[in-house]
Amino acid sequence: MTATDRSTELITVAAQAAADKLAHDIIAYDVSDVLSITDAFLLASAPNDRQVKSIVDEIEEQLNKQLGAKPVRREGDRDARWILLDYVDIVVHVQHSEERVFYALERLWKDCPEIELPEDAKATRGKGEAHAQQQADEAGEAM
């Protein structure tokens, strides 16, 4: 079994929306062979809580505007460290960069096929690590 065309369409719009709000390390997995509850996961991250919320808001807005899709569940708003949007066909995880490293969801799903994403989304790969290095360099210079 593979992700449906509808799931792929949702993932594509969500990934582009995340990229438009400068999310880091956007990746999507087809989990339809290992999970019966959804077809695909989209993972994205940001260096601060405000940006996590902004990315989630943009994903939600674009999926509704372009495809008429609304999440059946939204979790994690209070702390904005890890917000989950459940669209049944897909689940979107937007995490603070620290949470992304700690929970390493990519390790859990690495055996699942990746879903092709828009070029803007692919260009975000490695941005989280680059941002962390920049922060470390700036902290070192301040000392």
Question: How many domains, the chain?
Answer: 1
Local confidence band at 3 (pLDDT 50, 70, 90 cut-offs): confident
Looking up residue 36, the CATH number of its domain turns out to be: 3.30.460.10
In tens, the pLDDT along 23-81 reads 999 999 999 999 989 999 999 999 999 999 999 999 999 999 999 999 999 999 888 89
The tokens for 116 are 């092709």
Domain that holds residue 42: 3-140
Contact between 75 and 83 (Cβ < 8 Å): yes
Structure tokens at 57: 């808001």
pLDDT single digits (tens) 71-120: 999 999 888 899 999 999 999 999 999 999 999 998 999 999 999 999 99
Residue 122: partners with Cβ closer than 8 Å, 6 or more residues away? 26
Phi, psi of 27 (to 5 degrees): -150, 150
Please tell me the pTM assigned to this model. 0.89
**pLDDT-derived band of residue 128, with 50, 70 and 90 as boundaries?**
low
Neighbouring CB atoms inside 10 A of 58's CB total 19
